[in-house]
Structure formats: C-alpha cells, structure tokens
Amino acid sequence: MATAGAAGSSGRTYSFKVVLLGEGCVGKTSLVLRYCENKFNDKHITTLQASFLTKKLNITGKRVNLAIWDTAGQERFHALGPIYYRDSNGAILVYDVTDEDSFQKVKNWVKELRKMLGNEICLCIVGNKIDLDKDRNVSVEDAESYAESVGAKHYHTSAKLNKGIEELFLDLCKRMMETAQAEERAKGNGASQSASSRRGVQIVDDEPQATPAGGCCSTG
Amino acid sequence: MMSQRRGIHVDQSELLCKKGCGFYGNTAWQGLCSKCWREVNQREKQRQIQEDWALAERLQREEEEAYASRHQRAQSQPAITPFNKFEERKTKVKSSKVNTVTKFFTPSIKTPPKKDAGPFDTQSTPSPSSSASRQSTLDSDRAAREFIDFLKPVKSGREIFKQCRAFTESMVYKRDMGADELSESVQDFYQNLSERLQSQFKGSSELVEKVMDEVEKYMMTRLYTEVFCPETTDDEKKDLAIQKRIRDLHWVTIAMLCVPVDEEIPEVSDSVVKAITDIIEMDSKQVPKDKLACITRCSKHIFNAIKVSKKEAASADDFLPTLIYIVLKANPPRLQSNIQYITRFCNPSRLMTGEDGYYFTNLCCAVAFIEKLDGQSLNMSSEEFELYMSGQTSPHWPQPTAASSSSGTAALTQVHNSLDLLTGLGERQERVIEKARQLESDLIDWTDEVEQEVQSALESFPLETQNTTANTASGTASASLSAIDSENIENEQLPPPLQPQMFAG
C-alpha cells in the first residue's frame, strides 16, 4: 500500500488511518458498517467482520484510501488505546446521546489523544443514536461547546436512520488532507514525505541517485 | 605515451565499439559500447556465478570429507567423543555459513578481493549457533534465485538487486549493532528504495508494492538468523516471561474473558483449532510478511467463529477478547521475538494502514493485555485472582451457563476416555512384564540345561589328551589343532589331513 503522498504529483493517493474510539454499545460498529456497507442490523452483511474496513474515496480529484480501525470499547481494554491510535491521522470519538457516561469517556479519550499525539490528529466527536432523541441525556450545547474548546468537530449521527454519517467521514477526510498538505508545505517542496511515514525528518537521500537508464554500466 | 598520442590525434575508429557494431565505445567498458558491454559483462558474470557455485560445492564436499575423517578419529578416542562431536558440529555449521557467504559475495567481479576476505571475516565474528543453518542456507539460496527471477522483467531490476545485495552484505558486518539501529537502517533502506521506485515507475504504486514485497522477502530470508531474536536484546527473556505468564493463566475460561464464541458448535471449535494452528505456525516463517499472513489467517478464523456463534459480523469488541483467548490457548512459541522482529523489519506501510497491520496491532494489544492482566480485568476480586494464580483453587466448571457446563461434560468424557486408554495401556504393560519374566526364567533354565548336558557329555567321554597327541600322524600340525581333533575317537580311522602344497604359476 502506498503511503500517503508517495505517488506522483498529479494523481497522488492519500492513505489515512482512522481509529474509532468510544465505550462499548455506543454504536461504533453500526456506524462504520452503515458507512462502508450501507447496512444496519442486517443479516446479509457481506463482510466477515466489521472491525477493519476500508473505503476508497475521490475528493476534489484526489484519491483517498481510508482504513477504519475499530477498537475494543470495554473498559478493561482502555489501557491498550495507545497501541491502536499510534500513527493514525484521524480519530472518531463516539458517544451515545442517551448515555451521559459515554460522553465522559469521550472526554477522557480527547485528553489522552491530545497529550499523546498533539494537534497532528484530526478529532471528530460524534453523538450517535439521535433517533432516540427523546431519551437524550447529553445536551447539544454542552457537547458542541466542549468539542470547540478542544479543537474538535462535533457531529450528530444515526446509524439506524443513516443520518449524518456521509458528512462525518467526508468532512474528516477533507480535514486530514489539509493537515497532510500543511505538513508537506512545512517540510518544504513536499518531497514525498507524509504524516504516515515512519521517520518524520529524513528527506535527503544520502546515497547517490541511481542513473535512470542502464545504471549497471556506470559501475560495472 | 599512449594517452599523449590520444590527446593529439584521435582516430574515429578508435572511438567506435570494438565489436564493430557501429556505436561508440567507452574505455571504461573495455572499448565496447554500452550494449555490447552489457552482453559481454553478463556472460562473464554468469560464468563467474557458475564457477562460484562449483567452488562452493567443492568446498562443501571437502568439508564433509574432512568431517568424516575427523569423525572417525574422534571415535578412536572415546573419552572425549561427545565434546569432539559438538565441536565438529560447530565447525560444520560455520563452514556451511562460509559457503553461503562465498556464494553471495563472489559474483561481483568488480571487487575480487572480497572473495578472499569474505570467509575470513565471517569466521572471525562469532557465528550464531543454529542447527537450522544449513536449512537457512538453502532457503536464502532459493530466495535469491526467486528474487532474481522476479526482477528479470522489471525495469532496472539489476540495479535493485545490486543495491539489495550490497545492503544485505553490509548488514552482516553490522551484527554487533543494537537491534534498534539495525531496524533503523533496514527501514531507511526500505524508504529510500521505495521512494526511488516511486519516481522511477511514475506512480504505479502496485508495482512498487510488489517489488518492495520481494525486496523484503529476499533480504529478510538472508538476514533472518542474524536479526531474529539477536543476542543484543532481551527478546529471549521476554519470550520466556510471556510463555510462563500464559502457562500460569491456564485457568482462564471463555466466560471470564466474555468471549462470544460457542465451542459447542462443531464449525466454531474447528475454527478455533485452525486459529490456534495458524498463530503457532507464525514462528516457522522467516519473512515478516509471511508471519503477518499467519496472523491474518488466524484472525479470519476467529471472525468466522464469532460470526457462526453470534450470527452477525464481528466487531472489535468481540474480536479482541477472542484473540486473547486464542493466544492463551495456543501459547505461541517465541511470541515476543516474533512481534519485535515484525515491528523492526516489516515494510512500514503494511504495518501502518493495511489489514495485516490491524490484526498485528490487535495481537500486540492481546499480548499487552495478557502481561497486565489482573483480577479486575476478569471481573473478579484480586484475592480470587491470586488464589487461581497460585494454583490453590481452580474455577468451578459445571454451574453457570449451558455452554460452559456442556463444555465441561465434554471435557469430562474426554478425561474418561483418556483414563480408559491409560488403564488399558497399564494392563498391557503388566502382561509384557510378565512375559518378560517368563522369558528370563526360561533363559536361566535353558543355560542350566545346556550346562548339564555338556557335563554329562564330558563324563561319558573322558578326555585322553596324552594318547591322542601321540597317535596323530602328522607332526607338522600344531598341538592345539591336534588336541581338537583328538576329541573324536573315530578320527584315527580317517586319512591324515591334506597338506598345503605349492604350485608354481
């Protein structure tokens, strides 16, 4: 798989890793299944699993490969978070609008992510299950003001009714592309480095560039 | 003198290719044009490679002969045989390594001194004692051949091969470096090469990916013994620690981990067994990509087990606990070493975003979870946890859910079956022992019988040695020979024994 920004100048392909974080039962899996398969609670889901899904997008002429990593939401696996979100470009933090507790969990995740990854990661806070709006326990204002205060975007979705999900992922992709481009510019001339490259700095080739044609002769 | 002349007057014909193909030649290519030079060079290299193979084979034969003769000598000195044998094996391992090195070092004709330097250098550095060394030699030979075959149709494949080989050679000398530095330099190499390929193939990322896969395969097969679980790290210690940890956690049940898998269903238990087999198989692979493929296969089996049990697509909430359960059941060999090896030497793009990378990350999570596991993460008090860990109590099997109780009865029937088998085995063993005793007494009786018979025979035919010696006709026969003959009294009626006679011609 080509790393982000490693392709030629015109038809470059971005590859982004997005982690799904949030308590169990908030609907992480439903969200991503709805997005990638457009199915909800369906017996005919074609994929064997819903924990690693990919989606190919075309945003303003740029190709984007999205890899969505689901994570285990149970509390006892919380400590494993850093292993999952390492090197990810974006994080989707899901809570259940009817469950105040799950929103608190999101806040914990935000704190941790900002501490570990800084501003390089694009955060989306997602209030899922708005079809159950009558049982809402997290107020819209609270959630949105909190999101703004931590530099994240807030979305309302319903996997059941297929609401707000396309927008969420499209928006996130655009933001990740901007971040990647900004990073490239910061590195100067965008020498095919990207957020997902293993070592951040190394741009210059130490070894002499191979002669384009018949290189064997020059050294033979 | 020559250069002076050339400086003044250069004849057009002197500039042309010596083969007369009409193109210009170059002194660096022995006066040939690029095309002809490549042809000639290729042929020469091919010949060189063949010679090297022959040389390597000859060395191998000599080594084996030497080994055989030394082995014989060792047998004539029984007191130190075991140690000698061990030493022999060591030298053999070394020598086979040397052969590989010769094979791979020599084909480059531009650096002839290396041919001699190669073997000595490797011999002076401590060679890792590995009984699988010979096997790995074969493997890396095959890997090199496959790599060359793969690169043949690829544009500038020769260049790629050269770079990889040069890098791999240089890695052999860096063996004493720390594992992180080794990893760093391999990763740098991957990155540089893939960037160069990207610009070369103008964005055909699929081809780049394929080439990089082959590069990884070739390089890591060659370097496996050096960089897997190197002595500079404490990987081995960690391996043993996690192994012991998993063994101590043998009492953890499906219910404690909340694994959504129902092993009563045959298809599910089948998938579980396959998953366990795959995760164990990981250790036998050499290339990081192949190891990852094992993890992915294992994960797919787990997903299948979950899907059959739950009748819906598995989420990460289901997957991770099941993977933990599989790891606990399998206790895969050298788990930490394998994880470290993949992290250090796998092509980073695969680990970062690919599906394989996701499953690998989950495995890392599973291991981290197992290491930190406590009572709380299994929904029990820490006292209970301690009791289980110390082996003072074991969890109650038969009560809670239908699944666990029936799995308990399944286990019970299995235990009964094993017990039956064992009793059967015991009976048969007793019978064998009885028979053996009988045989022993029979043997004793038989020897007694034989002795008695001999005695009685001796008594009925007393020896008359004095007499018979005097009676034997030929004085030339030795005394002992006549003594034997004398036992038979009828001998006297026989003609004298034939005498050896010389015939001329």
Handedness of CA B14, B16, B20, B26 (dihedral sign): positive
pLDDT at B82 over 80: no
Backbone angles phi, psi at B150, to 5 degrees: -65, -40
Our measurement of the distance from residue A63's CA atom to the centroid of its chain's CA atoms, rounded to an integer in Å, reads 15
Spatial contact of A153 and A173, defined as CB atoms under 8 Å apart: no
Q: What is the pLDDT of residue A92?
A: 95
Task: Tell me the C-alpha distance between A15 and B191, whole Å.
Answer: 16
CB contact under 8 A, B38 and A217: yes
Q: Which residues of A touch B29 (CB under 8 A)?
A: 217, 220
For B334, left (φ over 0), alpha (ψ -120 to 50), or beta? left
Q: Can you name the residues that pair with A122 across neighbouring β-strands?
A: A90
Task: Tell me the C-alpha distance between B485 and B469, whole Å.
Answer: 9
Q: What one-character DSSP code corresponds to residue A92?
A: E
For residue B266, give Cα distances in angstroms to B297, B298, B302. Answer: 19, 17, 14
Element (H, E) at A69: strand A62-70
Task: Tell me the C-alpha distance between B161 and B151, whole Å.
Answer: 8
Handedness of CA B455, B457, B462, B465 (dihedral sign): negative
Angle at CA of residue B284, ends B192 and B288, nearest 5° = 15
Task: Calculate how close chain A gets to B358, using CA atoms only, in Å.
Answer: 7
pLDDT at B449 over 90: yes
Scanning the structure block, which residue is given the tokens 């159950």?
A: A132
User: How many CB atoms are closer than 10 A to CB B267?
Assistant: 12
Task: Tell me the C-alpha distance between B474 and B497, whole Å.
Answer: 8
Which range is least confidently modeled, A203-217, B10-24, B135-149?
A: A203-217
Percent of chain B surpassing pLDDT 90? 27
Backbone angles phi, psi at B81, to 5 degrees: -55, -50
Spatial contact of B315 and B156, defined as CB atoms under 8 Å apart: no
Spatial contact of B342 and B352, defined as CB atoms under 8 Å apart: no
Q: What is the pLDDT of residue B407?
A: 59
**Pairing relationship of beta strands A62-70 and A52-59 according to DSSP bridges:** antiparallel
Task: Tell me the C-alpha distance between B121 and B98, whole Å.
Answer: 9
CB contact under 8 A, A1 and B209: yes
Spatial contact of B30 and B37, defined as CB atoms under 8 Å apart: yes
Q: What is the pLDDT of residue B341?
A: 92
Our measurement of the distance from residue B81's CA atom to the centroid of its chain's CA atoms, rounded to an integer in Å, reads 26
User: B312 at the A interface (CB within 8 A)?
Assistant: yes
pLDDT at B409 over 80: no
pLDDT band at B296 (very low <50, low <70, confident <90, very high): very high
Of B187, B350, B365, the CB nearest to A1: B350
**Amino acid at residue number A160:** K
Residuewise pLDDT in 10s, chain A (220 residues): 434 443 334 457 888 999 999 998 888 888 998 998 888 876 666 677 888 999 999 998 889 999 999 999 888 899 999 999 988 999 999 999 999 999 999 999 999 999 988 888 999 999 999 999 899 999 999 999 999 999 999 999 999 899 999 999 999 999 999 999 888 888 765 444 443 444 333 333 333 444 444 444 444 3
252-281 in B: which are within 8 Å (CB) of A? 258
Which tops the pLDDT comparison, B284 or B64?
B284
Nearest to B71 by CA among B88, B96, B92: B88
User: B213 at the A interface (CB within 8 A)?
Assistant: no
Which tops the pLDDT comparison, B237 or B500?
B237
The first and second tokens of residue B145, run together, are: 């051949």
Which tops the pLDDT comparison, B263 or A169?
A169
Task: Tell me the C-alpha distance between B275 and B327, whole Å.
Answer: 9
Looking at this predicted complex, what is its ipTM?
Answer: 0.81
CB contact under 8 A, A29 and B316: yes
Q: Of B156-160, B220-224, B297-301, B467-471, which has the strongest mean pLDDT?
A: B297-301
Per-residue pLDDT of B371-407, as tens digits, reads 998 888 888 888 888 888 887 777 655 444 444 455 5
Task: Tell me the C-alpha distance between A92 and B199, whole Å.
Answer: 34
Q: What is the pLDDT of residue B110?
A: 38
pLDDT at B367 over 60: yes
Q: Mean pLDDT for chain B? A: 77
pLDDT at B437 over 90: yes
Q: Which residue of A has its CA nearest to B320?
A: A72
pLDDT at B72 over 90: no
CB contact under 8 A, B355 and A52: yes
The first and second tokens of residue A186, run together, are: 């910061």
Task: Calculate how close chain A gets to B304, using CA atoms only, in Å.
Answer: 7
CB contact under 8 A, A198 and B203: no
CB contact under 8 A, B315 and A70: yes
Task: Tell me the C-alpha distance between A81 and A111, whole Å.
Answer: 12
Q: Which residue of B has its CA nearest to A14?
A: B353
pLDDT, average across residues B155-167: 85
Q: What is the pLDDT of residue B81?
A: 43
Of B158, B300, B320, the CB nearest to A77: B320
3-state helix, strand, coil in chain A (%, to 5): 40, 20, 40
The first and second tokens of residue B113, run together, are: 């001194």
Spatial contact of B458 and B440, defined as CB atoms under 8 Å apart: no
Angle at CA of residue B336, ends B331 and B338, nearest 5° = 95
CB contact under 8 A, A199 and B365: no
pLDDT band at B464 (very low <50, low <70, confident <90, very high): low
For residue B8, give Cα distances in angstroms to A50, B5, B13, B25, B28. Answer: 78, 5, 15, 19, 20
Which range is least confidently modeled, B79-93, B128-142, B450-464?
A: B79-93
Q: What is the pLDDT of residue B243?
A: 94
11-70 in B: which are within 8 Å (CB) of A? 29, 34, 37-38, 41
pLDDT band at B487 (very low <50, low <70, confident <90, very high): low
**Amino acid at residue number A192:** S
User: B157 at the A interface (CB within 8 A)?
Assistant: no
pLDDT at B35 over 70: yes
User: How many CB atoms are closer than 10 A to CB B342?
Assistant: 23
pLDDT at B95 over 50: no
Which tops the pLDDT comparison, B454 or A193?
B454
Residues 6+ apart with CB under 8 A from B249: B328, B370, B373, B389
Q: What is the pLDDT of residue B490?
A: 62
The first and second tokens of residue B62, run together, are: 């000599």
CB contact under 8 A, A1 and B354: yes
Q: What is the pLDDT of residue B471?
A: 52
Backbone angles phi, psi at B487, to 5 degrees: -65, -30
321-360 in B: which are within 8 Å (CB) of A? 321, 348-350, 352-355, 358-359
User: B200 at the A interface (CB within 8 A)?
Assistant: yes
10-69 in A: which are within 8 Å (CB) of B? 11-13, 15-17, 20, 24, 28-29, 33, 43, 45, 47-52, 54, 65, 67, 69
